[in-house]
Amino acid sequence: MATATPPLDSPNDSPLTPLRFLKRSAEVFPSKPAIVYGSRRYTYLQFAAAAETLARAIRERIAPGDRVAFLSPNTPEMLIAQFAVPLAGGILVSLNPRLSPSEVRYVLDHSEATLLFYDAEFASVVGNSLEHCPPLRAIVEIGDAEFGCAVSGVEIGQESFTDFESAGAADQQPVRWEIDDERAVISINYTSGTTGKPKGVMYSHRGAYLNAMGEVFHNGLDNKSVYLWTLPLFHCNGWCTPWAVTAASGTHVCLRAVRPESIWSAIDDLGVTNLCGAPTVCTVIANADQAHLLEHPLRITTAGAPPSPTIIERLERLGATVVHVYGHTEAYGPFTICEYQEAWDALTPAARATMIARQGVLMVQAEAPRVVDENMNDVARDGSTIGEIVLRGNNVMIGYYRDEAATARAFLGGWFHTGDLGVTHSDGYVEVKDRAKDIIISGGENISSIEVENSIASHPSVADVAVVAFPHETWGERPEAYVLLHEGHFATGEEISTHARLTLARFKVPDSVVFVDALPRTATGKVVKASLRALSTQSNRPSPD
């Protein structure tokens, strides 16, 4: 039978978009609590109205397809932006608040953002971006009188969020909750620059919709769910969870900062049922002074680095269910899940935690991951033969924004190459064993050893440098620098760290600097980082923060 692309008014085809989730929840559960943030409360009707108001204001300032940047912690404004920007016809670019001013300017320049919204706390990070980023037409400051700064007090040519939003309130033109092309870009998420400069990962409305539906299913979300925002909203659109929780008509509990007392207060007082985060978040919860046996079910979904079986076991003793997922920025966040098997009930707690720490199998919206050799052949399912993990399917990015060459390399052979090295077990579960590009994962954030090395190497006294990871109880991994100085030069570790802070976000700066007489190298001149890692494990570590 012949097929054709359905017309826009087709009775049997509606372009997929996560925008419809908020529209539905506002219609079906208008008075249900949608957002909780300190003393602020939004019902679903108010959530949708706020998104429409902001969308109208943004629509007046942009052309369809323009990039709109947000620099904010997990506040209601950041959550509302996940809907308001695409409702306005824009493309959302979420910025990491931990970036340095130069890194923020790079992303603004590369994305060619025309509008920038930023939380008042981060005025110094924004700096004079309006002057240095020609595409920017306006920057808007968001105050947070209850938990942050009401205003920054820094004059950088900004508008207030209240004044900006008032233009949307005055505009009574309807907002369109439907789209014409489900493969249009809804957001651009920038990588951490693990192989050089950050790359802009393009998500489609279709991919976001499907990933959100997978999240609803695997996280067991429904209209009784209370979701705590411990996962940064800037990261992969919060793993598409803003759209997932809204699809389920659950309650979003926004959290400005991840602190143990705030997390446990929300769990106890607000009845939190679900949260996501890096293993660091799991450690914070398990090791908190406030930790106690839970009175109601709590599902913790973790990813970003293999979680410690010890922490998983500790959380299970508190009554929490830990779900391990795996993915990439290029895969809309989670792509695989370690599906629990009833047979694991018979295992010891330690053995069960080891099984749960694996990266797992495909999620319902995804295609099966593969572990392949250099010729794209599947490796043996023996749990020991190592290959590269490759992915494909509905939840793989459209491509890198303004970087066709990098896109082609990433999709070599028709699969997305993760750069992660892993094995496949006999039960089909995938497990990550190493990272092919020496990525350091600290608190769920990727740190490029190359980027850190380049920063330190720019110090006038540094002749050579290599950066490796060492295990850290709180952050999972932290960078350590091995530095060779020019003959006749002198520098202290603090001087090297101070220099690195000029170009790097603080979380990327090494915890320690070790001065060496030479770096171990292969015959072809490559640094043997395995030797440095072995040396690192034998040296004295600073006490965990």
Stretch (H or E) spanning 134: none
Question: What does the pLDDT average to over 324-353?
Answer: 93
Confidence of residue 305 (pLDDT cuts 50, 70, 90): low
- Kindly report the CATH number assigned to the domain that includes residue 493: 3.30.300.30
Question: What does the pLDDT average to over 201-223?
Answer: 97
257, 283, 311 — which closes off a domain? 257
Residue 59 lies in a domain: yes
Question: What does the pLDDT average to over 90-110?
Answer: 93
231, 257, 283 — which closes off a domain? 257
Confidence of residue 523 (pLDDT cuts 50, 70, 90): very low
Cα gap 251→227, rounded to integer Å? 6
What would the two tokens of residue 346 be? 């018979």
Question: What does the pLDDT average to over 44-65?
Answer: 96
Residue 109 lies in a domain: yes
pLDDT mean across residues, the chain: 90
* More reliable by pLDDT, 297 or 437: 297
CA pseudo-torsion sign 64, 65, 71, 74: positive
Confidence of residue 283 (pLDDT cuts 50, 70, 90): confident
Tokens 């279709």 correspond to 206
Residue 500 lies in a domain: yes
391 neighbors 371 (Cβ within 8 angstroms) = no
Residue 392 lies in a domain: no
The total domain count for the chain is 2
Q: What percent of the chain has pLDDT over 70?
A: 93
- 142 has a pLDDT exceeding 90: yes
Give the range of the structural domain holding residue 34, as residue numbers without chain letter: 19-257
Q: Where are the alpha helices (DSSP H) in 141-204?
A: 161-170
Helix axes 493-501, 449-457, angle to 10 degrees: 110
117 neighbors 95 (Cβ within 8 angstroms) = no
Question: What does the pLDDT average to over 448-455?
Answer: 80
Confidence of residue 194 (pLDDT cuts 50, 70, 90): very low
**Of 3-7, 162-166, 320-324, the least confident:** 3-7
The closest alpha carbon to 396, from 242, 203, 193, 186, belongs to 203
User: Distance between alpha carbon 231 and the CA centroid of its chain, in Å?
Assistant: 7
pTM: 0.83
Eight-class DSSP state of 354: H
Residue 503 lies in a domain: yes
Cα gap 469→440, rounded to integer Å? 6
Confidence of residue 539 (pLDDT cuts 50, 70, 90): low
* More reliable by pLDDT, 426 or 349: 426
Residue 361 lies in a domain: no
205, 223, 257 — which closes off a domain? 257
Confidence of residue 524 (pLDDT cuts 50, 70, 90): very low
Residue 485 lies in a domain: yes
Question: What does the pLDDT average to over 209-213?
Answer: 98
- Kindly report the CATH number assigned to the domain that includes residue 133: 3.40.50.12780
Confidence of residue 543 (pLDDT cuts 50, 70, 90): very low
**Of 82-96, 348-362, 373-387, the least confident:** 348-362
Question: What does the pLDDT average to over 370-385?
Answer: 94
358 neighbors 371 (Cβ within 8 angstroms) = no
Residue 325 lies in a domain: no
- 238 has a pLDDT exceeding 90: yes
Cα gap 259→188, rounded to integer Å? 28
What would the two tokens of residue 102 be? 């130069």
**Of 70-79, 147-156, 428-437, 535-544, the least confident:** 535-544
Question: What does the pLDDT average to over 305-328?
Answer: 86
pLDDT tens for 501-518 read 998 999 999 999 999 998
Strand partners, 106: none
**Of 126-130, 178-182, 356-360, the least confident:** 126-130
- pLDDT for 542 equals 47
- 485 has a pLDDT exceeding 50: yes
